[in-house]
Amino acid sequence: MPIIEPTHSAPPAEMIFDDWYPALRADKLRKGAHHTTLLLGIPLLLGRKNDGSLFALRDLCPHRGIPLSAGWFDGNTVTCKYHGWEFEPCSGQCTLIPSLTQHDSLDAQRIYAGAYPCVEKDGYAWVYMPAAGAGRIQPDDLAKLPPVPELPKFSQKFKSIHLTANLPCNVDHGIIGLMDPAHGPFVHQAWWWRSRSSIHEKSKVFEPIPHGFRMASHKPSVNSAPYRLLGVYGEDFTTTIDFVLPNRRYETIRCGNKWFSSLTTVTPVTPTTCRIDVIGAWNIFLHVPFVLPIVRYFGNRFVAQDQQTMVEQSEGLRYNPALMLIDDADKPAKWYFALKQARLKGTLGDNHPLTAPVTLHWRS
Ligand code: FES
Ligand SMILES: [Fe+2]
């Protein structure tokens, strides 16, 4: 999937470290395979050892800085191309410096390449990105890290898809585009979703949750066909949409024992670019043929509509225009910026922008 580079210097966003981000689809990493990627501006070498464990190394040799990806990975050891230093990739520990002789006192094992915690969940390799200068994360520290994000699932059997798109804008624009309720009838016009003529006034209750906010349970928009499809089961259904820092949107729709659930993340690739990843799962139509390719087709179209809009938006943002956030449709974006600032300052505990449930009104 090509990264869409901005054609100009797009405005950067501050990035939130000390948290988990999806770096790659885990199925790309078969045993002995490795891939490079960028996460929060840091080049990473990800791979899977022969014992099945995933690793994420900073893709720079601690000796002279050549990318470790220029060298070799044999399923157990990463070897640097330049002077052949060998590293155990999960810990980053150097295990061999070929040039050393018995006259040297240097202990290779005291040298480490940068290694980040890397965990497989919901089909992604999630990487924990510590703040610069935080020091090496020791094995004992792993239990103290926040939990790896997980898609809520409500039954053993389900189907799932992954969708992804690179966005040529910074993570803030990606996220406020994700939570923006007013663009739907314009960007996502389609016979199967909704049209401009279906615009009507909505009222939604939002409440604070830790590190984010929740659009409280309600009956979903009656003007969208996929939701009407769910209604075939004839029971009341409820939807909950949560936004949680740094970058997560959880949506669950439940109707009796039938459910649909999605986790969407917008991850900074660099300070000026980001990537949207969606995992969706459901337990309806499990035995109907062709549901998966149909969902994938429409899901990809939906994500591509957002992507195309942000490609066009980035053309305007190159001129660094003054922008505005309006009431009430842009209130969630304002809360996002307030939550993010509080988190970056370390004051989120007593500084939630939402102190009580509020009702927002907009037309979409
Ligand atoms: S630069 Fe990697 S071993 Fe020298
Ligand atoms: Fe959208």
- Please tell me the distance between residue 92's alpha carbon and the centre of ligand 1 in angstroms: 14
Which of 58, 83, 95 for a ligand 1 pocket mutation test, highest count of atoms within 8 Å of Cβ? 83
Residues with Cβ within 6 A of ligand 1?
61, 63-64, 66, 80, 82-83, 85
Measured from the alpha carbon of residue 62, the closest ligand is 1
Instruction: Answer positive or negative: Cα dihedral of 311, 316, 318, 324.
Output: negative
Residues 6+ apart with CB under 8 A from 7: 314, 315, 318
Closest CA to 99 of 86, 114, 113: 86
Among protein residues, the one with the nearest Cα to ligand 1's atom 4 is 83
- Please tell me the distance between residue 140's alpha carbon and the centre of ligand 1 in angstroms: 28
pLDDT value at position 233? Answer: 47
Closest ligand 1 atom to the C-alpha of 97? 3
- Please tell me the distance between residue 24's alpha carbon and the centre of ligand 2 in angstroms: 22
Stretches in the chain below the pLDDT threshold 50: 233
Measured from the alpha carbon of residue 306, the closest ligand is 2
- Please tell me the distance between residue 21's alpha carbon and the centre of ligand 2 in angstroms: 21
Strand order in the sheet with 124-129: 19-25, 124-129, 118-121
86 has which bridge partners?
A: 79, 96
Q: Which residues are placed with Cβ below 5 angstroms of ligand 2, an ion?
A: 306
Give 344: exposed, middle or buried? Use CB within 10 Å, 0-12, 13-18, 19+. Answer: middle
Closest CA to 241 of 182, 192, 178: 178
Summarize pLDDT for 173-184 with one digit per residue, the tens.
999 998 888 998
Q: For residues 273 and 5, is the Cβ–Cβ distance under 8 A?
A: yes
Among protein residues, the one with the nearest Cα to ligand 1's atom 1 is 64
Residue 134: what residue type? Answer: A
Closest ligand 1 atom to the C-alpha of 85? 3
Q: If DSSP states are collapsed to H, E and C, what string results for 13-65?
A: CCCCCCEEEEEEEHHHCCCCCEEEEEECCEEEEEEECCCCCEEEEECCCCCCC
| Tokens at 203, concatenated | 């009222």
pLDDT value at position 146? Answer: 95
- Please tell me the distance between residue 25's alpha carbon and the centre of ligand 1 in angstroms: 29
The CA radius of gyration of the chain, in Å to the nearest whole number, is 23
> Given its phi and psi angles, is residue 13 left (phi above 0), alpha (psi -120 to 50 degrees) or beta?
beta
260 has which bridge partners?
A: 253, 282
Measured from the alpha carbon of residue 303, the closest ligand is 2
Summarize pLDDT for 23-52 with one digit per residue, the tens.
999 999 999 999 999 999 999 999 999 999
Closest CA to 162 of 25, 291, 28: 25
3-class DSSP state of 321: coil
Tell me how far apart the alpha carbons of residues 2 and 306 are, in angstroms, rounded to a whole number.
16
3-class DSSP state of 212: strand
Closest CA to 47 of 66, 63, 23: 23
Q: Which segments of the chain are extended strands (E)? A: 19-25, 34-39, 42-48, 54-58, 72-73, 78-79, 86-87, 94-96, 115-116, 118-121, 124-129, 159-167, 201-209, 212-218, 237-244, 248-255, 258-270, 273-282, 358-363
Among protein residues, the one with the nearest Cα to ligand 1's atom 3 is 83
| Tokens at 89, concatenated | 């990739």
User: In the chain, what are the domains?
Assistant: 19-129 (2.102.10.10), 159-363 (3.90.380.10)
Measured from the alpha carbon of residue 78, the closest ligand is 1
